Amino acid sequence: MTAVAELMDYAEVVERFDPVLGLEVHVELSTNTKMFCGCLNEFGGEPNTKTCPTCLGLPGSLPVVNGKAVEGAIRIGLALNCEIAEWCRFARKNYFYPDMPKNFQTSQYDEPIAFNGYLDVTLDDGEVVRVEIERAHMEEDTGKSLHIGGATGRIHGAEHSLLDYNRAGVPLIEIVTKPIEGTGARAPEVARAYVTALRDLLRALDVSDVRMDQGSLRCDANVSLMAKDATEFGTRTETKNVNSLRSVERAVRYEMTRQAAILAGGGSIRQETRHFQEADGTTSSGRAKETAEDYRYFPEPDLVPIAPSREWVEELRATLPEMPGERRKRIQDEWKLSDEALRDLLNVGAVDLVAATVESGATPDEARGWWVNTLAQEANAREVELADLPITPAQVAEVIALVSSGELTNKLAKEVAQGVLAGEGSPREVVEKRGLKVVSDDSALLTAVDEALAAQPDIADKIRGGKVAAAGAIVGAVMKATKGQADAKRVRELVIERVGS
């Protein structure tokens, strides 16, 4: 067992050192088929059912590039403000690993399809940090190993391993930043914000389902520290496959405190890969880092070079959607949101849902109220993403419309939403089934008002004597009698009318 690492207090770390970050993000493209063969590109399924001689690396099989994947790569490059190569090739990255049946990964090396870009990232307080992109290149995913019999699921201690090649050959784009300097104490936050912004961008491009939990978006975080007076970068570690946004932030922060303690004690950092432990937020040593030479890269002889015409690139540029950053600015303007309101909206991940609800006829304020408050609480309680709640923006708009038309009170509307969430049907169906309509028929209300007044003659006297506030007790009694299905404002009017006459 390795000893527990010494850590330096975070405040001291950032006082004595400047962190440098490098983020490598792998994104699986959601093309119909794999990168170099016609096998289905789908998550999961019976092991080894989505394979063929090409993605299994059998002798004599030949790869063919998936045009849709190249298109996706170019669109990602353009969205990241990159230059697009006029001509580039694939390269073989040679190493042995059981989940990689060809014994090499078809990747790109010194000729990436996209390079020299940037992504502007907004931090929680609104500060914008520009993260420069070194390159975005095409490659293929590996298969998956399942290690059986050990306590950790890792190969160490396992009795045997199973291999599933369904994922082998799935199109991947690797997006690599230039070293990110000057973020100081905010480095962990910048790392998280960058991956968040990248995820949102990829989602807007509709090129991937960007599920960190399913591995379709994966982040490796490189971290090094420089003493305040240093002129060169320190040695970096690369923490692999950090699989949630929160973990990205935690992993960077942990590495900073771990490396600082070593450096301050006169030690040196080993260039290595590390694994992030979700449970306690620590990282542990992986393998010593190979250098590029170790991989014996060479141009892939079985694939033609990729030479996207400038016309095609411009056509693809024209398909780019509004970028999330611009969209946020526009929405803030159009919906007249304070920075704080916008942040709340972003934090609960409700922008698209509110926009869709507005599209279905609700006002931005009403739609926001429902998603950011009522429904966000519901999602929290159920521990699901807001978007995964079993209610659609159109249904939320319908509930809102029922309130506006006076058919439902706010309280009843919440009940209707509960019914929809419980799978009882559309808002109207829930209203019918649960009998939730507001009693808007004045004669029915008047009967209830008269009964309440008769039951509490002293209060009726008070109101008559000018104490209008006392009407509240009667209104309350009527609401109770109608099981909350009356419009309280109307009831109040009727009470005053009745007592006055």
Beta-carbon contacts of residue 147 (< 8 Å; ≥ 6 apart): 153, 154, 155, 158, 160, 161
- Residues 11 to 40: which contact Mg ion by CB under 5 A? 24
Considering the complex, state which of residue 294 and residue 315 has its C-beta at the smaller distance from ligand ADP: 294
CB of 232 to ligand ADP, least distance (A): 8
Considering the complex, state which of residue 174 and residue 366 has its C-beta at the smaller distance from ligand ADP: 174
Q: Which does 236 bind (CB under 5 to 8 A by kind): ligand ADP, Mg ion, Zn ion, none?
A: ligand ADP
Beta strands in 124-199 (DSSP E): 128-140, 144-148, 160-164, 171-177
Nearest Cα to Cα of residue 360 among 404, 389, 398: 398
Both structure tokens of 55: 């993605």
Report how far residue 142's alpha carbon sits from residue 198's, in angstroms, rounded to the nearest whole number. 22
Query: Per-residue x/- mask for Zn ion, residues 10 to 49, rule CB under 5 A?
Result: ---------------------------x-x----------
Burial (CB count within 10 angstroms: exposed 0-12, middle 13-18, buried 19+), residue 181: middle
The answer to whether residue 179 forms part of the interface with ligand ADP (CB under 6 A) is yes
Report how far residue 220's alpha carbon sits from residue 228's, in angstroms, rounded to the nearest whole number. 25
Considering the complex, state which of residue 31 and residue 283 has its C-beta at the smaller distance from Zn ion: 31
Report how far residue 407's alpha carbon sits from residue 441's, in angstroms, rounded to the nearest whole number. 11
The answer to whether residue 24 forms part of the interface with ligand ADP (CB under 6 A) is yes
CB of 65 to Zn ion, least distance (A): 13
Report how far residue 199's alpha carbon sits from residue 209's, in angstroms, rounded to the nearest whole number. 9
Which residue's entry shows tokens 């690139």?
A: 313
Q: Which does 39 bind (CB under 5 to 8 A by kind): ligand ADP, Zn ion, Mg ion, none?
A: Zn ion
Out of 13, 21, 55, 65, point to the residue binding Zn ion (CB under 5 A).
Answer: 55
Beta strands in 141-249 (DSSP E): 144-148, 160-164, 171-177, 217-227, 237-242
Out of 20, 25, 82, 202, point to the residue binding ligand ADP (CB under 6 A).
Answer: 20
Both structure tokens of 369: 């109220």
Considering the complex, state which of residue 235 and residue 277 has its C-beta at the smaller distance from ligand ADP: 235
The answer to whether residue 295 forms part of the interface with ligand ADP (CB under 6 A) is no
Q: In 43-110, where does DSSP find H-type helix?
A: 67-79
Report how far residue 118's alpha carbon sits from residue 79's, in angstroms, rounded to the nearest whole number. 9
Considering the complex, state which of residue 136 and residue 463 has its C-beta at the smaller distance from ligand ADP: 136
How open is the CA angle 228-11-259, to the nearest 5 degrees? 60
Q: Which does 178 bind (CB under 5 to 8 A by kind): ligand ADP, Zn ion, Mg ion, none?
A: ligand ADP
Report how far residue 188's alpha carbon sits from residue 14's, in angstroms, rounded to the nearest whole number. 11
Q: How many CA atoms lie within 13 A of 348 on its CB side?
A: 27
Q: Which does 262 bind (CB under 5 to 8 A by kind): Mg ion, Zn ion, ligand ADP, none?
A: none
The answer to whether residue 22 forms part of the interface with ligand ADP (CB under 6 A) is yes
Out of 41, 222, 259, 395, point to the residue binding ligand ADP (CB under 6 A).
Answer: 222
Q: Which does 55 bind (CB under 5 to 8 A by kind): Mg ion, Zn ion, ligand ADP, none?
A: Zn ion
CB of 62 to Mg ion, least distance (A): 27
Out of 74, 82, 85, 176, point to the residue binding ligand ADP (CB under 6 A).
Answer: 176
The answer to whether residue 224 forms part of the interface with ligand ADP (CB under 6 A) is yes
The answer to whether residue 417 forms part of the interface with ligand ADP (CB under 6 A) is no
- Residues 438 to 467: which contact ligand ADP by CB under 6 A? none
CB of 226 to ligand ADP, least distance (A): 8
Here the contacts of 405-408 (C-beta below 8 Å, separation 24 or greater) are 406/438, 406/440, 406/487, 407/431, 407/437, 407/438, 407/440, 408/436, 408/437, 408/438
CB of 110 to Mg ion, least distance (A): 13
The answer to whether residue 177 forms part of the interface with ligand ADP (CB under 6 A) is yes
Report how far residue 320's alpha carbon sits from residue 323's, in angstroms, rounded to the nearest whole number. 8
The site for ligand ADP (CB under 6 A) is made up of 20-24, 134, 176-179, 222, 224, 233, 236, 238
Which residues of this chain interact with Zn ion, rule CB under 5 A?
37, 39, 52, 54-55
Q: Which residues bind Mg ion (CB under 5 A)?
A: 24
